């Protein structure tokens, strides 16, 4: 499994597996403690985590994002926090969806202005319309998580693709939410074409 280290910033780092879905995991560092977000186990992860701080917990934002959450929580002997839990971390966990087949929370770290989302938002071709840097999941475009637009995020970390960083991030986030329905046909067509190109 090819791995690329991504989303390196003062508050943590991420790693992306180069496959069709480009699954992305993150580590956030708070007061010397490392919190893993929807993590996949990859080579060198233990070294990166230990060099960054002391493992404190594993946060699973999406019910079906099992990935290696349980195994890593057991290996590091830390809590495994999953939806619908909203406590037990230094972050604010917000319930986005609570459906029989889709339970998802978002993570907001106010001090660092970090917003982490499992599946509701993404940056790979499957999520975005042409020209978009960030898009709503194709199955959620009719019901986008508009509450996320209230956050003045400097960093938006997603479960599929590279994150969005910098001073333009709040505007990019709000644009993705506001235009979600209107740009749904273009996003679906773009996603379909990207799947066809991979074959």
Q: What structural domains does the chain harbor?
A: 3-198 (3.60.15.10)
Question: In this predicted structure, what is the pLDDT of residue 26?
Answer: 98
Mean per-residue pLDDT of the chain: 92
DSSP 166: S
Total-model pTM: 0.93
Local structure of 197: helix, strand or coil: helix
Contacts 24+ apart (CB under 8 A), 45-51: 45/15, 48/5, 48/13, 49/76
| Cα(34)–Cα(169) distance, integer angstroms | 24
Bigger pLDDT: 198 vs 193: 193
Distance of CA 3 to the CA centre of its chain: 16
């Amino acid at each position: 499994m090819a791995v690329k280290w991504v989303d390196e910033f003062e508050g943590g780092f991420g790693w992306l597996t180069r496959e069709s879905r480009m699954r992305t995991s993150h580590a956030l560092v708070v007061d010397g403690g490392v919190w893993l977000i929807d993590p996949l186990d990859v080579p060198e992860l233990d070294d990166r985590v230990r060099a960054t701080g002391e493992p404190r917990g594993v946060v699973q934002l999406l019910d079906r994002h099992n990935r290696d959450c349980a195994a890593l929580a057991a290996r590091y002997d830390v809590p495994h926090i999953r939806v619908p839990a909203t406590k037990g971390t230094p972050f604010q966990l917000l319930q986005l969806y609570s459906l029989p087949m889709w339970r998802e929370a978002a993570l907001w770290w106010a001090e660092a202005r970090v917003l982490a989302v499992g599946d509701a938002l993404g940056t790979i071709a499957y999520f975005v319309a042409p020209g978009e840097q960030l898009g709503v999941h194709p199955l959620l475009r009719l019901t986008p998580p508009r509450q996320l637009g209230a956050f003045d995020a400097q960093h938006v970390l997603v479960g599929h693709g590279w994150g969005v960083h910098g001073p333009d991030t709040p505007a990019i986030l709000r644009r993705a939410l506001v235009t979600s329905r209107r740009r749904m046909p273009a996003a679906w067509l773009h996603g379909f074409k990207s799947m066809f190109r991979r074959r």
